[in-house]
């Protein structure tokens, strides 16, 4: 099993690194030393949108430490199931977060995020919060 690092985690890590302070991120990684960490194709796309990821070499630097989980037909199917389930209950989450959740479920992984309230609406998804 591994953990998917949400975009907000990567951004906090980048901000801390620029300030020369890595307390939050170091503490988190130390508490999870036996885990493997990943990002999704969606997270890579979100990072590409940010100002700190321009030019491309900076975006590649942000993504490089983490294997990127690719899209698959199974992820698309789970996305659709989750969408229908959450919509029927009036609890849809953001589109990109729904893709991240579907990817996590397909790969039997948890999601590390500060956006715990939204991700916790997804049935059977392991959500790991952290303090920034």
pLDDT tens readout for residues 70-129: 999 999 999 999 999 999 999 999 999 999 999 999 999 999 999 999 999 999 999 999
The pLDDT value given to residue 130: 87
Answer whether 4's CB lies under 8 Å from 103's CB.
Answer: yes
Answer whether 13's CB lies under 8 Å from 119's CB.
Answer: no
How far apart (Å, rounded) are the C-alpha atoms in residues 41 and 67? Answer: 10
| Full-model pTM | 0.93
Query: How many domains does the chain fold into?
Result: 1
Is residue 132 pLDDT above 80, yes or no? no
Span 19-70, pLDDT tens digits:
887 778 888 999 999 999 999 999 999 999 987 667 888 889 889 999 999 9
CATH number (domain holding residue 75) = 3.40.50.1010
Domain coverage including residue 95: 3-128
Reference 32, options 8, 6, 2; nearest CA is: 2
The pLDDT value given to residue 75: 98
């Amino acid at each position: 099993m591994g953990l998917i690092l949400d975009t907000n985690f990567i951004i906090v890590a980048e901000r801390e690194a620029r300030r020369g302070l890595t307390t939050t991120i170091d503490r988190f990684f130390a508490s999870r030393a036996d885990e493997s960490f990943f990002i999704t194709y969606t997270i890579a796309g979100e990072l590409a949108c940010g100002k700190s990821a321009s030019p491309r070499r900076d975006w590649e630097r942000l993504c490089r430490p983490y294997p990127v989980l690719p899209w698959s037909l199974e992820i698309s199917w789970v996305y659709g199931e989750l969408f229908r389930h959450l919509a029927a209950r009036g609890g849809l989450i953001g589109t990109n977060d729904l893709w991240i959740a579907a990817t996590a479920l397909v790969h039997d992984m948890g999601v590390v995020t500060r956006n715990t309230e939204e991700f916790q609406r997804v049935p059977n998804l392991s959500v790991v919060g952290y303090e920034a």
